[in-house]
Chain A
Amino acid sequence: MNDTQAPVAVLSKVEKSYQLDAVSVPVIRGVDVLIRPAHFTVLLGPSGSGKTTLLNMLGCIDRPDVGNVMVAGNDVNAMTDDELSDFRAKHIGFIFQNFNLLPVLSAYENIEYPLVLAGASAKVRGDRVPKLLEAVGLTDKARNLPGQLSGGQRQRVAIARALARKPKLVIADEPTANLDSKTGAAILSLMRHMQQRHQISFVFSSHDRTVIGAADDTIFLKDGLIQAVRRKRHDPEGEPLLGAEADE
């Protein structure tokens, strides 16, 4: 994999405000972001810096007030709600801080659900889900409901669910925040492993600077503005990326 491939997501001059009673509070103030394909990108910054808002826009569950969002080569601003739903189902995986597994479905069924939504056949599901369960080390917990799993196990299921449809982009909002440091490190390691194995772009937010070491690209956010972008180059033969310099 090299950096010459088209970026998986591009945010151009994006602005976003939230209404707090009668006051409009700007959260993102005209930022440009480029997510490289098959890279591990971390959004870093203190609380309220706009990490989650940026992630939501990258994940196509929120729209900017101003600016464009291109994901997987598609202008998501122009999409209807249903088109966005289908787009998310096809191209984007989500990993949440609170795992957000469906409590009435077993680990197996939670992983299978995105495939069901996509209309995948029983054979395809039967092939893919056990492999994912094995990849996250939960083959023996396949029939367990989320309530019967530990936090780390739940997050493993969430990772497998996010990867079920082989998305181009996985959005992870503080995926280790609710885990102890050891489990968090393991989850981070697993995500890194899966990202490399499946060649998927991972973007996750954190305000923990210890995760920087795990990232290919790190975007520092503060008060809705990008303070710095640090990129590690995996492919020395690749061309410089648009809109970002290494160690800006």
Chain B
Amino acid sequence: MNVVCFVEPGDELSAQAVGFARSLGSVRTVAFDGAYQPAAWARSLAAQEADAIVAAGSDRGNELLAHVGAILDRPVAANVTAVDGDVITRQRWGGSLLEEARLHGSPQLLTVAPHTQPATEISDVETLQAEDDGSPKVLERVEESSTGVSLREAKVVVGGGRGVGSADGFAIIEELAGLLGGAVGCSRVVTSAGWRPHTDQVGQTGTKISADLYVACGISGATQHVAGAKGAKRILAINNDPEAPILAVADYAVIGDLHEVVPAISAELRKAQG
């Protein structure tokens, strides 16, 4: 099977997509130069001879393959974890659910679910030409002035949920995060209530974290939240409900009222830090 795999050089998810593509057949890795112009890049990709066109299940990968699918009028399977002939397995609900589906016709258009495949070295990248067709393209990149630790990259995230009770209640969450040099996170309930900005939200429609430790305080553990939290290596749940779903994905648990437990941990940390 001849596979064309779109890559963004230096991108970890692209390296995972290449590994997956190689398991399907012989692979041509391709990339583009210049300003990102999804519809134009996709037109060039769609013109390649291939039995399958593969990209990472990243923002750009999913976008490009959707354009290719529209141009060729072919189905696209996004965030695939396995391929067996014309039957694919893919993620739904941010990975909380899997789907087996038959992908009809050829070429197969697939994106690879992030962090489900080992990365391979990206080599022999061929640069394709894309003709500017006047479709929207990236005109400039504006760097954001970062304040504090990035949620996505923080080694420790201390998250608060409905149990925190109010915007002011986050003072104790901020204090603990500060002592650990970490970032503050929250659940969707909290952003919907306006207690914290959306940039703090951990979840399927928020940020997907990769911390060494995630401390989930007063968070029940809805699938929406867990989809963003499960990338953490360890999860400590502080919850007054021993039946809360978060405990099913946690490594450590403290059963109790976060308003007592969190300040006590901060006090203990201060003692330990002298």
Q: Do A and B interact with each other, yes or no?
A: no
Chain B interface residues toward A at CB < 8 A: none
